[in-house]
Copies of this chain bind each other. A is one copy, B any other.
Amino acid sequence: MRALYIGRFQPFHFGHLEVIRNILIENDELIIAIGSAQESHTKKNPFTAGERFEIIRANLVHEKFDLSKIYIVPVEDLNRNSLWVAHVRSMVPRFDKIYSNEPLVKILFNDAGYSVVNTPLFSRSEYSSTKVRETILNGGDWEKLVPVATRDYILRVNGVDRIVHINSSDKC
A interface vs B, CB < 8 Å? 37-42, 48-51, 53-54, 57, 61, 67-68, 71-74, 76, 78, 80-83, 85-87, 89-94, 102-108, 162, 165-166, 168-172
Contacts and interface: CB of A to CB of B under 8 A. Distances in A.
Contact of A37 (B51, B57, B91, B172): B91
A90 B40 contact: yes
Contact of A172 (B49, B90, B104): B104
A54 B91 CA distance: 11
22 contacts: A38-B82, A39-B80, A39-B81, A41-B82, A50-B92, A50-B94, A51-B93, A53-B71, A57-B93, A71-B72, A73-B74, A80-B87, A81-B172, A82-B89, A83-B86, A102-B169, A103-B165, A103-B166, A103-B168, A103-B169, A104-B169, A107-B166
B104 A166 contact: yes
Q: How many copies does the complex hold?
A: 6
B169 A50 contact: no
Nearest to A172: B104
Contact of A73 (B41, B42, B53): B53
B94 A90 contact: no
Nearest to A171: B104
Contacts of A81: 39-42, 172
Contact of A67 (B37, B68, B86): B68
Contacts of A41: 81-82, 104, 107-108
Contacts of A39: 80-81
A39 B81 CA distance: 7
B91 A48 contact: yes
A158 to B, nearest CB: 10
